[in-house]
Structures are given as C-alpha cells and as structure tokens.
Amino acid sequence: MQPGVEADSVSITIGIDEKLTQISPSPSDCCIFRVHKQLCGVNEKAYEPEIVAIGNWRFIPNTIELREAGVELVKIEGASLFNIKFENGVLKIPPLTIEDRTESFFRNLIAYELYCPDNQLTYITDYVRFMDCLIHSPKDVEILSRRGIIDNCLGDNEVVSTIFNKISDAVTGPSSHF
C-alpha cells in the first residue's frame, strides 16, 4: 500500500461512521432491508437476503404491515424454529404451537440465555423478539394461525398476542442471531 493511502482510508471510514451516527432512522420506513432500485437492477438476487437479519427491532413490520407490503407468509415444515428465511418476497417461518406452558417455557429459556456464562447465545431471546415484532395484535395472530405458522391451542388470539408482547417487554440486552 502506498504511503498516505492507509491514512486516507481511515479518515474516510471515520467520516462515514460519523455520518451514519447522525442519521436517525424513521419508524415509518418499516422495512427489513432497502437497496436503491438502480443497484437492484444490476443483480437483483445479490440484494435479497436468504436469512432474515434483524438489526433494529422496532423497524420490523408486523404481520398486517408485511401483508400490505406484498410479503407472503408461508409455513415451512420440518425446520428448526430458527430456520426463518426471506426469499422472493416470501417470509418462510416454521410452525409454533402455543399452549398453556408456552409462556413459562420461553421465559425459562430466556432466563437461562441471559444468565448463562456464555450469554452470547441468545437464539430463543431473538426468536421471541422476532415473533413479538410480527405480533402486535390479535389480528396478527389470526393471520399467522390461518397460514399454519401458529397453532393456537389456547383458542384466544388476544392471549397469544399478550404472551409475546409481555415476554418481549421484559427482555433487555442486544440481539445477535436474527
């Protein structure tokens, strides 16, 4: 590398970092990712994630908003709860059965993750946060149930909505796996 080039690249990096920290994202932008149309036109597949990556939780749209944006919600069989994918405008989510013990089950696993010596592994916490983003109301639960993504053994969509909203409210700390 030529003398002075490394210093220039460092100052450019610092300049970009400063600009990015000054930008405050708008909640009305609710999108998982956004790439300029001209860039997408070059190689559309290159800008479509195969695995949903969640950075800032409050910008993940709920189920109703996703459907309004044209995203199709599909149940995928035989997959781990963490095998959530977004391909060609289709959000593929493994099924989840909600029953009497679901809330305590998730709360116990989240507590384990948070207080485990290696609390870097927060798969359950991230999954519950993701589901909370999708579920804001009983209507969201109804849509996920109709799609086979949620099997509501409790029978009350309000209860399921409340479960995810309450659990997620109690969780603090960074997300890392979605």
- Domain annotation covers residue 127: yes
Q: Is the pLDDT of residue 153 over 90?
A: yes
Q: Is the pLDDT of residue 2 over 80?
A: no
- Domain annotation covers residue 177: no
- Domain annotation covers residue 178: no
Check residues 88 and 28 and name the one with the higher pLDDT. Answer: 88
What single-letter DSSP state applies at residue 71? Answer: P
Encode pLDDT of 55-76 as tens digits.
544 568 999 999 999 999 999 9
- Domain annotation covers residue 176: no
- Domain annotation covers residue 125: yes
- Domain annotation covers residue 109: yes
How many domains, the chain?
1
- Domain annotation covers residue 88: yes
Domain region containing 44:
5-170
**The model's pTM:** 0.64
Q: Is the pLDDT of residue 48 over 90?
A: no
- Domain annotation covers residue 32: yes
CA atoms within 13 Å, Cβ hemisphere of 166: 11
